[in-house]
Amino acid sequence: MATVVDSSNPKSDFPIQYRELNYLNCSKGWKSWFFTLDHKRIGIMYLIGVTCAFFLGGLFAVLLRTELLSPARILLSADGYNQMFTLHGAIMTFLVIIPGVPAAIGNIILPVMLGAKDVAFPRMNLGSFYLWMFGAAFFLAALALGGLDTGWTFYTPYSITTSTAVITALLGVFILGFSSIFTGLNFIVTIHTMRPPGMTWFKMPLFLWALYATALIQILATPVLGITGLLLVVERAFHIGIFDPALGGDPVLFQHFFWFYSHPAVYVMILPAMGVVSEVIAVHSRKHIFGYRFIAYSSIAIAIFGFLVWGHHMFVSGQSKVVAVVFSAITFSVSIPSAIKVFNWLTTMYKGSIRFTTAMCYALAFLFIFSIGGLTGLFLATLATDIHLHDTYFVVAHFHYVMMGSSLVGLFAAVHHWWPKITGKMFSEFWGRIACLGVFLGFNLTFFPQFLLGTRGMPRRYYTYLPEFQNLHILSTCGAYLLGLSSALMAATLIYSVYRGKKAPANPWGGASLEWQCSSPPPANNFDHPPLAGDPYIMESVVYNEEIGGYVPVECQGAKKGSVTASGDKEA
Amino acid sequence: MNTAATTTTDDHADSHDHEHHDPRLAHHFDSHQQQFDTGKLGIWLFLVTEVLFFSGLFGFYAVYRSLHPEVFLYASQFLDTVLGAANTVVLLFSSLTMAWGVRCAQLGQTRGLMVCLVVTLACAAIFLGVKSFEYTEKAHHGLLWAGMYHSPEHHDAAAADGAAGAGDHAHDEAAAAGDHGDDELFEKTKHTLSYMTTVLWVVIVISGIALGLLFKNPNKKTLATVAGCVLVSAAGMVIGAYSSIGYHHFGHAEKPTDEEILMAETVPAEYAAQKEKVPEPKLAGTFFSVYFCMTGLHAIHIIGGMIAISWLIVRTAHGAFTTYYFGAVDFVGLYWHLVDLIWIYLFPLLYLIN
């Protein structure tokens, strides 16, 4: 086995591995980061920003849960509580989950997966990051200027009359919306025009399909949120009478506009996580993904259906019965593509050689949690039960199972799966798995009791509650603490690995898609020449090499010594 | 914005790729064709988001027009169709020159491209000049969005009985005769506009001097071109504002015939003099909310377009565009056509009701 390869010769057997220079060390100084056009560095900055926002939002959640330990006041006043849950929701939605997988992970991985040198519009990519920063600054300003107590949904007419910093927060949402639009636009164009030779649409990794579907939603739905937010700003500032019933406006129109964006946005949150799970399960089961086309098409189907279901948020807001029935029916039909995905993931694992790496553990947690989250959605899509469950903790638990339990766990899976590629370092699998177990248990302990609370009539967004709910609330709060600690442990494990971790091989998990063909971390240009792409799920095309500690292409595996079969496992 | 991202030259400090040295080709593209196709798809997607951005307002328009058709019938008569039509023609002409400019760029005719872009910029500025006259006039008639709306009926009544004491001296003076109330408001409109035109004249003089001084200096090409763009924009706005004022004068000089009064769409007083008076519906101000939101957002897009066109003019002055590299002109052109197209929808939806 050759251990030294002339890295300047791209025609060698080991294409671009053993590069000394990579995107992290090729230039130095703060300017090389803040003005970088490299998609990987921009992705890293997103990742850091999203992580900070995640811990800020998480801190708010922990404060909220602490307050709910007892019906009486513990930490927060009633107004403070309203502001806390509003900012928790707004930060987690707009600053964490929506940019989480697409903007942070997608930015780093998408061009490498495509064998491209960069995204189509690198400047716009950087601009989109600064818009994100700017939007986040507006959110912090809203926090400083008297908070926000409308809920993250900004429902009128309350959002017109409240004295809190609605305009500041809305401008933040507007700016973040444009950040999201530009990311989506960039991804669509990149996928369309910059695929390497040999990569047809149906040879794209499923993560790219998921990002493509996500980007479609981002550019089609987010402008509507932008104009809605802007109209609400104008309504508050000038009283134009669009949403304000006092001037003849229609407050329910705001709900329609808002959910026309925000329901598809739910799929902006979940679709990329689904794409991550498709990758992680196939790679860590060492098996070709099952039902490739079904998974690909179901991503697009979810994106399309996502636009047709917004009315299910207004079953009790006074919409006509016919409309409600139609929305209910379409909402049920969204479960079909989602179920297709779950069944295909399960079938992919069947007879695979599953390794319980940290990323795989998160993917399995995703499967479990997403199934619960998805199925409880059917309860809420049913008109009759929704009347009972509307605005209760059942809804809170449902969307946390989907948004937090699925989207964020998907993000965690992505971070662990691609961490060696991003940083060039291996993290501690032991502590990673412990953290994963903690996240899984803590999450379910937090939110499963909320299903019970909801069915028993605990309304959402309430500061206090009847004494008979206290036991379940205490359980839920304990879960939140465990979840918070486990997330911190996860972050600590990952950050520790950056300084003390073992150097990562180019392909530690045995993935067959293009990003595993360049070194870890990738060089600044990713690939000097567009690589030839084949089927991204033929796991037999790479075999384990003990000297390197990772997988190498079959054709590079000269001597048989030290190699195992493609499905074998000597690593864990 | 995305055009800027595609077309500006690559300055990667950390680029390892030395295969091509064409500064017009960004490092991550293989060919000019790929770079152009990428930008084209990008701008089309951006236009999709723009359409959806306006769709909220069109949706709002549809909802309110179906709920309150009488509001739209009543209030649209206060909009000046002639000015609206004139603006439509101006914008259509600017689309023509823009398209012509794209053709010039493709053929490598730099001078033709420059002329077309400057004419387009001037047309955009004229549009804004007319719009500012319309806005000012509406403001003085109290025809503002719902929260600031003052009923013209109420205004006429106040004007009719003189000492109605709204606390506004101008109104009291106008009380002498009902007809003169409108003239008074027109004078006030002119007065307000004169502030704008004074500022614009100052801008014209300063940018004119700057252009004159810098024109011959090859090192200050960018600055001279920017000054030229500012000059053209300010001059266009002044032309727009003065021609609207002139048109309005002209409209007042002749006594309107009975038929014209029946058709009256220009000024509220003429409308109020009509025999069969349509009662003012409640929520008439909502129409003006729609009007100001839609035309205002459109005007912001016009300003954005003017900035983009100025950027093209500067780059043209530097000779950036060639027969194989003209993407930016094409993309800004597409954007400009969309802005034009939105106005083509706004004009009948707002001005041509009934």
DSSP per-residue codes, A258-325: HHHHHHHHHHHHHHHHHHHHHHHHHHHTTSPPSSHHHHHHHHHHHHHHHTT-GGGGGTTSS--HHHHH
Are A539 and A32 within 8 A, CB to CB? no
CA angle A516, A520, A524 (to 5 degrees): 100
Interface of B with A in 176-235 (CB under 8 A): none
Say how far apart CA A40 and CA A423 lie, in whole Å: 10
Q: How confident is the model at residue B156 (pLDDT cuts 50, 70, 90)?
A: low
* Alpha carbon distances (Å) from A538 to A43, A65, A349, A570, B186: 28, 46, 15, 19, 77
Q: Which residues of A touch B282 (CB under 8 A)?
A: 248
Q: What is the mean pLDDT of residues A59-73?
A: 94
Among A9-18, A434-443, B67-76, name the one with the lowest average pLDDT.
A9-18
Using the Cβ of B58 and the Cβ atoms of chain A, whether some distance falls under 8 Å is answered with no
Strands, DSSP E only, in chain B? none
**B164 has a pLDDT exceeding 90:** no
- What residues does each domain of chain A span? 33-556
What mean pLDDT is reported for chain A? 90
Contact call for B147 and A194, based on CB within 8 A = no
- In a 3-state reduction of DSSP, which class is residue A488? helix
ipTM of the complex: 0.88
Which value, in Å, is the radius of gyration of the alpha carbons in chain B? 24
User: How many CB atoms are closer than 10 A to CB A366?
Assistant: 30
Q: Which residues of B touch A530 (CB under 8 A)?
A: 30
Tally the residues of chain A.
572
Contact call for B41 and A188, based on CB within 8 A = yes
Smallest CA-to-CA distance from B252 within B244, A474, B155 is with B244
Are A515 and A204 within 8 A, CB to CB? no
- Mutation test of the interface with chain A: which of B44, B49, B292, B293, choosing the one with the most A Cβ atoms within 10 A? B49
Measure in Å the smallest separation between the Cα of B59 and chain A Cα atoms: 9
Measure in Å the smallest separation between the Cα of B300 and chain A Cα atoms: 13
Say how far apart CA A283 and CA A368 lie, in whole Å: 19
Smallest CA-to-CA distance from A219 within A258, A277, A180 is with A180
pLDDT digits (tens, 9 = 90+) for A518-556: 888 998 888 878 788 889 999 988 999 888 888 988 877
Amino acid symbol at A101: V
Which of A26, A253, A257 is the closest to B14 by Cβ?
Answer: A26
Q: Which residues of B touch A118 (CB under 8 A)?
A: 27-28
Say how far apart CA B165 and CA B159 lie, in whole Å: 10
- What residues does each domain of chain B span? 31-161+170-351
Of residues B194 and A290, which shows the higher confidence score? Answer: A290
At residue B155, the pLDDT reads 55
Q: Which fold has domain A33-556?
A: Cytochrome C Oxidase; Chain A (1.20.210)
Smallest CA-to-CA distance from B30 within A337, A117, A230, A129 is with A117
**Dihedral angle over CA of B136, B139, B140, B144, nearest 10:** 160
DSSP per-residue codes, A544-564: EETTTTEEEEGGG--S-TTB-
Please report, rounded to a whole number, the percentage of residues in chain B having pLDDT higher than 70.
Answer: 78
Q: How confident is the model at residue A38 (pLDDT cuts 50, 70, 90)?
A: very high
Using the Cβ of B44 and the Cβ atoms of chain A, whether some distance falls under 8 Å is answered with no
Structure tokens at A346: 């399960």
Buried b (16+ CB within 10 A) or exposed e, A7-42: beeeeeebbbbebeebbbebbeeeeeeeebbbbbbb
Q: Where are the alpha helices (DSSP H) in B141-214?
A: 152-160, 169-174, 178-214
Which of A27, A127, A219 is the closest to B45 by Cβ?
Answer: A219
Measure in Å the smallest separation between the Cα of B215 and chain A Cα atoms: 32
Contact call for B28 and A116, based on CB within 8 A = yes
Measure in Å the smallest separation between the Cα of B36 and chain A Cα atoms: 10
Say how far apart CA A112 and CA A39 lie, in whole Å: 10
The pTM (predicted TM-score) of the whole model is 0.87
Architecture of the domain made up of B31-161+170-351: Up-down Bundle (1.20)
Say how far apart CA A46 and CA A186 lie, in whole Å: 15
Say how far apart CA A416 and CA A403 lie, in whole Å: 19
pLDDT digits (tens, 9 = 90+) for A143-188: 888 888 898 889 988 999 888 899 999 999 999 999 999 999 999 9
Of residues B140 and A263, which shows the higher confidence score? Answer: A263
**DSSP, res A505:** P
Of residues A502 and B267, which shows the higher confidence score? Answer: A502
Burial class (CB in 10 A: 0-12, 13-18, 19+), A555: exposed
At residue A6, the pLDDT reads 41
DSSP per-residue codes, B56-80: HHHHHHHHHHHH-HHHHHHHGGGS-
Say how far apart CA B266 and CA A358 lie, in whole Å: 72
**B20 has a pLDDT exceeding 60:** no
